[in-house]
Amino acid sequence: MSLGGAANTIEDDVNIPLWNPAMIDASLQNKFAVNYTSYLAGISLGSVSFVSQFNEKVGLFYGGVQYLDYGTFTRADENGSIIGEFSAQDLALNVGYAYTSKASNFTIGANVKFISSRIDTYSSLGIAADFAALYRHSNERTLISLTVRNLGTQLKTYDGLKEELPMQINFGVSSKLEHLPLTWYLNIDNLQQWNISEPNPSNEIIDIDQNVVAEEISFADNALRHLVVGAELFSDKKISIRGGYNFRRGKELALNGTNSYGGFSYGFGLNLKKITFNYAVTKYHPSANSNTFSLVVNLN
């Protein structure tokens, strides 16, 4: 989150296989993580991650749980009379595995996800899979990865309406500088769709005839919205410092005439012998930021 929200090649972090299963390796064995995000408008989300070795022949497996709690809503009848409250939650169970070729620097990985969604008394079920490939450069500092996420289908619809899962293709590269304690990250997301731009209502104009004219988004502007950049200082020290920028978030949530810093994020990590504590702030809007907390425990 502190790196912009789409860093798929973070090493030695048991949370990352949730987004990129090709990152499962021996450095994550017997590590356990709990994460919590205080999101917007009373929404909260979190996850639990764990990597363990089944046996020496089979190798390492990733297990994780994700949840999203939308909070409570006002219940009203068809006449608009308030008659109580209801809630909504999503839950996903994840199992992942990766295989590294001994003859090359390539790793391939996959996640299988069982998804449950509930709104009041209505529910929906689904199943999905993630696939990823990772290349480790011979300099041992550079990682290149491609992930395809959320390939799947609904098993049970809400009310007979079949919905598509949000399939996404992301490309990521990161590298540690040789003579400076800094790692940079570059991600290109949503490769499955070229035009991902949405006009920002804050940039609407009114012409001489009092017609509302929506923001025009150029080719270059749309291309930038696929990019997320981030950097981390002192990744292997007691205290790590991180920052990132999400171009799409910054463009779509900007307020005309106001410096809202939307799209920026930052955070730090406190790396102790057996425990790592991470904290991140994500800037969305002048009136709404999110805070993410992560605790990683080494059980070895």
Segment 234-260 shows an average pLDDT of: 86
Lowest mean pLDDT segment, chosen from 54-58, 236-240, 295-299: 54-58
Q: Does some domain include residue 1?
A: no
User: What confidence tier does 285 reach under pLDDT thresholds 50, 70, 90?
Assistant: confident
Whether the CB-CB separation of 289 and 267 falls below 8 Å is answered with: no
pLDDT tens profile 265-283:
999 999 998 999 999 999 8
CA atoms of 300 and 295, how far apart (whole Å): 16
Instruction: Measure CA 69 to chain center.
Output: 16
Task: Write down the pLDDT at residue 123.
Answer: 94
Q: What is the pLDDT of residue 257?
A: 67
Number of domains in the chain: 1
Residue 14: beta bridge partners? none
Which residues pair with residue 112 across a beta bridge?
Answer: 95, 129
> What is the rounded average pLDDT of the residues 238-251?
92
Provide the residue range defining the domain that includes 265: 16-72+85-298
CB 293 within 8 A of CB 275: no
Q: Name the pLDDT band for 251 (thresholds 50, 70, 90).
A: confident
Q: Region 39-68: what's the mean pLDDT? A: 89
* Spatial contact of 22 and 286, defined as CB atoms under 8 Å apart: no
| Residue 115, pLDDT score | 96
pLDDT of 55 strictly over 80: no
For residue range 91-123, what is the model confidence (pLDDT) as tens digits? 999 999 998 877 778 999 999 999 999 999 899
Q: Which residue has the higher pLDDT, 17 or 254?
A: 17
In a domain, 290, yes or no: yes
What confidence tens digit (pLDDT) does each residue in 169-208 have? 999 999 999 889 999 999 999 999 999 888 888 777 777 7
| 247 belongs to a structural domain | yes
11 lies in some domain: no
Residue 114 lies in a domain: yes
Q: Kindly report the average pLDDT of the chain as a whole number.
A: 90
**Structure pTM?**
0.87
Are the C-beta atoms of 294 and 278 separated by less than 8 Å?
yes
Name the β-bridge partners of 65: 48, 93
Annotate the chain with three-state secondary structure. CCCCCCCCCCCCCCCHHHCCHHHCCHHHCCEEEEEEEECCCCCEEEEEEEEEEEECCCEEEEEEEEEEEEEEEEEECCCCCEEEEEEEEEEEEEEEEEEECCCCCEEEEEEEEEEEEEECCEEEEEEEEEEEEEEECCCCCEEEEEEEEEEEEEEECCCCCCCCCCCEEEEEEEEECCCCCEEEEEEECCCCCCCCCCCCHHHCEECCCCCEECCCCCHHHHHHCCEEEEEEECCCCCEEEEEEEEHHHHHHCCECCECCCCCEEEEEEEECCCEEEEEEEEEEECCEEEEEEEEEEECC
By the 8 A CB rule, do 112 and 129 touch? yes
Question: Under 8 Å CB-to-CB from 109, ≥6 apart: which residues?
Answer: 17, 20, 21, 22, 23, 24, 96, 97, 98, 99, 131, 132, 133, 134
> How many Cβ atoms are within 10 Å of 246's Cβ, its own excluded?
27
Q: What is the pLDDT of residues 115-161, one digit of tens each?
A: 999 999 899 999 999 999 999 888 888 999 999 999 999 999 998 88
The CATH number given to whatever domain includes residue 290 is 2.40.160.40
6 inside domain:
no
Domain membership flag for residue 122: yes
pLDDT at 275: 94
Rounded to whole angstroms, the Cα distance separating 252 from 196 reads: 11
